């Protein structure tokens, strides 16, 4: 299994983060590595000021969730653009842009903070470790479940990590579009 590395693409990142309010665009750069069904991305974040609360002096769980989302969206965009992996290789960039907000759903988000992280400048890592095509037990709708994880750290030993289950929903709508 060979690994492909995709350098930071500032133009793509600007496009991907365009759905965020300007003061909530925390991801500054992201490099993506992909091998078959797995992907790993490493990024740089800067949060000069919280988007919703007075400064706590450390990265908090709300902002970690936003950072995770930004790594997820940018990684998927890279996979789509380069037609990588069984889940995203058949998507077009237009389909990705149409689907990224309504059809990419976090179904479980678990995180733990081991040491406070300075939000002004820190690193993050996103991992896509696998996927499963599934059917909802609620309504029988097809979806794809992504198994992902993340971690964040800073230069002074700040550290947090977590695992996240993501569902790509509306598979029937995508099939009708193609």
The total domain count for the chain is: 1
Higher pLDDT: 156 or 52? It is 156
Chain mean pLDDT for the chain? 92
Please check the confidence at residue 101 and state whether its pLDDT lies above 90: yes
The percentage of residues in the chain with a pLDDT greater than 90, rounded to a whole number, is 81
Degrees (nearest 5) of the Cα angle 145, 149, 150?
145
User: Distance between CA atoms of 74 and 93, rounded to whole angstroms?
Assistant: 12
CATH of the domain at 91: 3.10.129.30
> Domain residues for 27?
4-177
Higher pLDDT: 85 or 66? It is 66
Give the mean model confidence (pLDDT) for residues 127-152: 93
Backbone angles phi, psi at 31, to 5 degrees: -110, 135
pLDDT in tens, 24-79: 999 999 999 999 789 999 999 999 988 888 777 889 999 999 999 999 999 999 99
Backbone angles phi, psi at 79, to 5 degrees: -60, -40
Q: How confident is the model at residue 10 (pLDDT cuts 50, 70, 90)?
A: very high
Backbone angles phi, psi at 15, to 5 degrees: -65, -45
Nearest to 72 by CA among 26, 139, 140, 135: 26
Query: pTM for this one?
Result: 0.93
Strands 104-115, 159-168: pairing kind: antiparallel
């Amino acid at each position: 299994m060979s690994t492909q590395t995709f350098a930071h693409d500032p133009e793509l990142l600007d496009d991907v983060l365009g759905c965020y309010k300007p003061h909530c665009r925390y991801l500054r750069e992201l490099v993506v590595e992909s091998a078959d069904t797995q992907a790993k991305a490493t990024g740089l974040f800067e949060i000069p000021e919280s988007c919703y609360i007075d400064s706590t002096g450390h990265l908090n769980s709300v902002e970690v969730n936003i950072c995770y989302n930004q790594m997820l969206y940018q990684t998927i965009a890279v996979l789509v653009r380069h037609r990588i992996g069984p889940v995203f290789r058949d998507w077009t960039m237009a389909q990705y842009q149409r689907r990224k907000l309504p059809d990419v759903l976090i179904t479980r988000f678990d995180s733990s903070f081991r040491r406070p992280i300075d939000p002004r400048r820190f690193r993050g890592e996103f991992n896509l470790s696998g996927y499963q095509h599934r059917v909802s037990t609620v309504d029988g709708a097809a979806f794809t479940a992504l198994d992902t994880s993340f971690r964040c750290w800073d230069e002074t030993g700040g550290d947090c990590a977590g695992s996240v289950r993501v569902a790509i929903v509306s598979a029937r709508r995508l099939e009708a579009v193609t």
